[in-house]
Amino acid sequence: MRNREDRALGLFILCSLAVVVLWAGQADAAKSRVVLILPFQNATPDGGDGWFGEGIAETLYLAAQITPALAPIERGRVVQALRAGGLDPGQGAERSVGALARQLKADVVFAGEYRKTPEGGVSITPRLLDPRGGEGQALEPLSGGPDRLLETQAEVILGYMKALRIPAKPEETAKMAVAAKPTADLTAFEAYVKARRAYLRGVQDGYEAAVELFSRAVEVDPTFAAAHYQLGRTHLALGNRWKATAQFRAATQVDPSLPEPFKAIGDIFMLSPRRLYDQAIEGYQRALTLRPHYADAHVGLGDARAAKGDNEGAITHYQKALAVDPLNARVHFSLGKIYYNEKGLYYEAVTAYKKAIELDQFFLDARMGLGEIYEEKGLYQDAIGEYRKVIEADPKHAGAHYNVALAYERVDVKEAIAHWERYIALASQMATEKEWVDVARQHLKKLRDKEK
């Protein structure tokens, strides 16, 4: 049963975060623009694979994270939105791009095109779009010879900063230029960009292809810190924490100024069955020392504080995350976990998960969390509804297939059997699901025996 202290905590958190959201909406949101970054289109006649345009988008994302004036939308979210909406910015002029930007709550859009010159150089035309109905603005074109391809695309971010009239200190501009040119080797860069393309597909064979390509990138350029980091993320997606950790640590050794690997190491410690929360806190703090406006690192640090029972410390970091990024869905997701798992506050947890989904409809972990709460409370049809939405967004989401089969056992045995069969067919191909497949087979056998 919930006690008064629990309810008081819930009210305190809600009031505290409401104040922060209001303050952030009046202050930080005015100077921090949410940016949708799209791959630049290849306008070269018979230009073939447009990987270079994807590379421009990737380096814009890396560079935009350097300044608190810009809040770039994670590229995985963009890919999910494109798939869900059937949108193709490369074909739809500004109407489809504007629809996508509004869906993702972006303030501005970075897009454009490039052409390869007969001599092997490149000409890049950046475009700036206002999703609220304004026409696209073509920025000053950039061009470079065959020996300056990487340098030329790295200058694109500075054009956007100028167009948006964002003042930047010289050291910040220098950091952005470095971030926009993560390697000096074009071969390594191509492998990296194609690896990111494969990774963003979000499926097993995509991850496996990404491992091969990221490995090639770091083999060609061992100092390519971003490639080490992304290789670690890919190993983690494949369920190999040891290899992931090794690559995150390699990234920190190659470039100690890169905060993402330290945050990722913090995440690894949070996932550890040994409850290495102090080590996780150290990783998050290191990331925040390098980038104080790193919202997800604040969320991670808040999660670690909450795991140690320091709810007030957790709230402080959730507040900081919202001050930097008022649209950060992970804050509300984390609050949902605290409300339900730690305090048993059902209604508050449901509200928090729904808020996370409202801010990011592709936040599948929030939908899974909401479904699990419904299921535990016996609201099986509601739970099934959430799991189905996850499957619609990601047909190969093993956890959602498993959970929906389990929930159907309570309401429709035939549907449960069908979903267990689908889960087993899908998950049998995934090394990370081996133990769960064995459990699923036991459920399926039990249900089939009942049907006889």
410 vs 8, residue with greater confidence: 410
Closest CA to 403 of 431, 376, 442: 376
Question: For residue 275, what pLDDT band results from cuts at 50, 70 and 90?
Answer: confident
d(CA 331, CA 312): 14
Whether the Cβ atoms of residue 59 and residue 179 lie closer than 8 Å to each other: yes
The rounded percent of the chain whose pLDDT value lies above 90 is 67
Task: Tell me which range, 74-78, 284-288, 409-413, is most confidently predicted by mean pLDDT.
Answer: 284-288
Mean pLDDT within 392-415? 93
- Single-letter amino acid code for the residue at 237: A
Beta bridge partners of 116: 122
Closest CA to 218 of 176, 246, 259: 246
Closest CA to 149 of 30, 55, 20: 55
Question: For residue 95, what pLDDT band results from cuts at 50, 70 and 90?
Answer: low
Range name among 41-50, 92-101, 156-165, 278-287 with the lowest pLDDT average: 92-101
Whether the Cβ atoms of residue 34 and residue 105 lie closer than 8 Å to each other: yes
Angle subtended by helix axes 241-254 and 259-271, to nearest 10: 150
Mean pLDDT within 72-92? 73
d(CA 130, CA 106): 9
Cα–Cα distance list, 255 to 75, 178, 225, 229, 246 (Å): 22, 11, 6, 10, 14
Helix (H) or strand (E) holding 152: helix 149-154
Mean pLDDT within 352-367? 92
Q: What is the pLDDT at residue 91?
A: 45
- The mean of the pLDDT values for the chain is 88
The CATH superfamily assigned to 363-451 is: Tetratricopeptide repeat domain (1.25.40.10)
Q: How many CA within 13 A on the CB side of residue 61?
A: 21
Q: What is the pLDDT at residue 362?
A: 84
Query: Per the confidence metrics, is the pTM higher than 0.75?
Result: yes
Number of C-beta neighbours around residue 144 at 10 A: 18
- Single-letter amino acid code for the residue at 81: A
Mean pLDDT within 94-104? 79
Question: For residue 204, what pLDDT band results from cuts at 50, 70 and 90?
Answer: confident
User: Which tokens sit at 53?
Assistant: 């345009």
Q: Where are the domains of the chain?
A: 33-181, 363-451
Range name among 5-14, 125-134, 386-395 with the lowest pLDDT average: 5-14
Q: Could you tell me where the beta strands, DSSP code E, fall in 167-311? A: none
Q: Which CATH architecture best describes the domain 33-181? A: 3-Layer(aba) Sandwich (3.40)
